[in-house]
Amino acid sequence: MMVKRRRGWMRLGLAAALIAVSGCTGMQSYLGGGASPRQLASADNPPPMVQNCGIVGIGSPTKYACDGKVYTSFDLLKLRQNWEKNHGG
Amino acid sequence: MRNRKTKFTLALAIVYLLATLGFVQRSRAQDSSGPAPMLKLYIDPATKVVYAEPGRGRRLLTEIPANAMAAGAIEQQEQRQEIQLRQNQDMISALVAKNQEFETSNRELTREMAEVKPAWRSYIDNFQDKFRIGTLIYGDYRFYTHTGFQPQELTQINNPGPWNNNYNSFDITRTYLNFYFFPTKDWTIRLTPNMYKTIGSSNDKIGANTGFGSNLDGNLGVRMKYANLQYSALWDKLDVPALKGGTVILGETANPLVGWEEDLYGYRYVNLTPWNYLSLSSTQLGVHFEGPIKPFSDGKTYADYGLGVYDNSSFHAYEQTDTKQAMARLSVYPFGADWRFQGLGLTGFYDYGYGNTTPDTASIPTALKGGNAHITRIATLLHYTAEQWGLAGEFDYGNNAFSAGNLFSGSGPADEFGTATGKPVTSGPAFFGNTCTPGAPCSNPASGFSSQTAAWNALLNNGQAREVGWDVFGHYHIPDTKFTAFGMFQWFLPNDKVATNPLDFQRFVVGASYQVNEFLRFAVDTQNTLFYHNQMSMSVPQLEKFNYVPGSKINGLTLPKTGSIPNLVPFDTHSIFLNMEFNY
């Protein structure tokens, strides 16, 4: 009786483990094979826009801080134009 | 060309050989077909010459069967033809091989020519790496609901004084052409011509009877704003890693405070920063050091500095002194900054110099030194900067750092600049302690600004003035828009040794900017100067404690010896500005 019960628990545990593994696998595939949502989003997100950046230095060229990085006005222009080109803008 | 010639030669040779081969083939065909051919000979009876072909006047001489000719001769002929054939085939093979060789050679030559860049191309490529040009333009439209005497809101703009409400103007206040030249990795040369609005008139008398009129008011002139040589490898050479990135600048350059604070504020195209508004020029001539301090290996900036020794004069004045002024600024970022200004910062600035006066004038003994006195400017700032907003508080302290010339840099009474205003008193009984005649007119405190100008100069230009000020400025980007709200408040006591100084003022600027693209911004804002004390008078004994001399003259008018000078609080000013910045 005890053995049967133990086997039952073992079967239940095995089934739960299988479900957990398959669930994780499914989640993995849902996440795109390991890429984070942030990575997925960044491919389609617009680049930093000058109006959202802080001024670091006014000059030729002016420098801006965007998302922790420093860009020149020319860098931002190029990023924006490339993005608009790729998105039919 | 060479290739075409080769091909043509080859074609000729092939045609020749084919013709030869054809002839041989024909000869051989004739030999092997039909009855034996006959050789016919003809003779011209007149000349007795024998021919192998018929012709006019020729008669058939004889017919000889070809096979009657010696077989050995035919064989010899065939052998010769065979040899000739082989030679021709060898020649064709040689020419084909030669042609292939030429074609290979031509391909290599074409490839080599494509790789070889002309000398001018190399020069241009090299030059563009060593040269950069940029431009900066500030412009505005301004409308004054209330005009008055005041400092300049922006470089070289002026406005009429009191009773000129609704004055308005379009202005260009800055047009930099930034030329940077990098002759080597460590050296940079910067040249920046800048437009400015000139003020000045002088009519010349030429000879006995001729005069030339001249008025430069409002002309857009050009002067050098920056002209300097920068060296960026000092700390690399001295092997001080914490100071790497620092530069040494020789020549005409931004001083340690103003340029730095303009970047911190971010709205220089709208209005001047506090000490720049009061008196400190943005640009000095001298020796200057600046750079970041990165003491740790995390790459963050924990401090940055600017210091140097400069002329006492500004960049647009002639240096008259035998002394120089020294300035230093240190900004500390206690939590480290990944980019300039990031996070919390504490900044201290100190400037010590002298009035721009020649040594012989400065050495004349006087009770009060006035404009010859030393000048001190101190600023301490607490600031926090994020990408979307920034806020700064500033405390200012100075000595002799705000003259009447500074107060009236934007607009001032004509008396300050050599022309008496108001209706002088020329007769009557004693007037403010003076006897007034047409030959010795008296300043009338109730008319014009001559007495007031003398009093204002006494309060500010006495050599013992002490300035105190407080400022707050900042900006906030409105999320998901191209708009940013910004503002500055300045409270300034031009001489706090005066119990109630009629010249104490507050200034505030509030506005919104619109970022059109990476290079262009517009702003709409209001700029105001508030001389906030109630209208007041000061007695002659009160003014005497400063630099007022009773009975002295201003522009030929005798100043009051007794009584009080009224209306010493200047008019407030209120204006609306539309500003534009283009920076490339």
pLDDT at B460 over 70: yes
Nearest by CB: B263 against A57, A66, A76: A57
**B22: CB partners within 8 A, 6+ apart:** none
Domain positions in chain B: 2-116, 125-203+211-583
User: Interior CA angle at B400 toward B396 and B404, to 5°?
Assistant: 105
Report helix, strand or coil for B113: helix
Please give the structure tokens belonging to residue B348: 């201290």
Q: Is B338 on the interface with A (CB under 8 A)?
A: yes
- Backbone angles phi and psi of A27, in degrees to 5: -65, -40
- Domain covering B125-203+211-583: architecture: Beta Barrel (2.40)
Q: Is the pLDDT of residue B335 over 80?
A: yes
Which residue of chain A is at minimal alpha-carbon distance from B338? A68
Taking the Cβ of residue A68 and every Cβ of chain B, the question of whether any pair is shorter than 8 Å is answered with yes
CB count in 10 Å sphere of residue B243: 17
Displacement of CA B370 from its chain's centroid (Å): 37
B295 vs B244: CA distance, rounded Å: 10
For chain A, the structural domain boundaries read 1-42, 46-89
User: CB under 8 Å, gap of 24 or more: what pairs does B44-53 form?
Assistant: none
Touching check for A80 and chain B: CB below 8 Å? yes
Query: Which residues between 13 and 52 in chain A have a beta carbon less than 8 angstroms from any beta carbon of chain B?
Result: 50-52
- Rounded Cα–Cα distance for residues B290 and B292 (Å): 7
What whole-number distance in Å separates Cα of residue B99 and Cα of residue B321?
Answer: 85
Bridge-based pairing of strands B553-554 and B538-539 is unpaired
Q: Is the Cβ pair A58, B515 closer than 8 Å?
A: no
Q: How far is B239 from chain A (nearest CA, A)?
A: 26
Q: What angle do CA B249, B255, B261 make, to 5 degrees?
A: 125
Question: What is the secondary structure of B290-336 as a DSSP string?
Answer: EEEE--STT--EEEEEEEEEE-SS-TTS----SS-EEEEEEEEEEEE
What distance in Å separates the CA atoms of residue B36 and residue B65, rounded to the nearest whole number? 7
Residue found under tokens 């012709």: B55
Give B75-116 pLDDT, tens digit per residue: 787 788 888 888 888 888 888 888 889 888 888 888 877 777
User: What is the H or E stretch that residue B432 is in?
Assistant: none
How confident is the model over B470-519, as pLDDT tens digits?
Answer: 999 999 999 999 999 999 999 999 999 999 999 999 999 999 999 999 99
pTM over 0.80: no
pLDDT the model gives residue B68: 58
Can you tell me which residue has the tokens 């100069």?
A: B457
Partner A contacted by B476 (CB < 8 A) = no
Q: Which of A28-42, B352-366, B565-579 holds the top average pLDDT?
A: B565-579
Contact present, B229 and B249 (Cβ < 8 Å): yes
> Is the minimum CB–CB distance between A89 and chain B shorter than 8 Å?
no
CB < 8 Å to B386, chain A: 54
Query: What span, in angstroms and rounded, lies between the C-alpha atoms of A30 and A35?
Result: 10
Tokens 């409002």 found at: B218
Hey, are the CB atoms on B519 and A57 less than 8 Å from each other? no
Please state whether the peptide bond connecting residue A61 to the residue before it is cis, i.e. omega within 30 degrees of 0: yes
ipTM: 0.74
Instruction: Report CB contact under 8 Å: B339, A61.
Output: no
In whole angstroms, give the CA distance from residue B28 to residue B13: 22
**pLDDT higher than threshold 60 for residue B13:** no
Q: Pick from A51, A64, A73, A79 the residue to mutate for testing the B interface (most B CBs within 10 Å).
A: A51
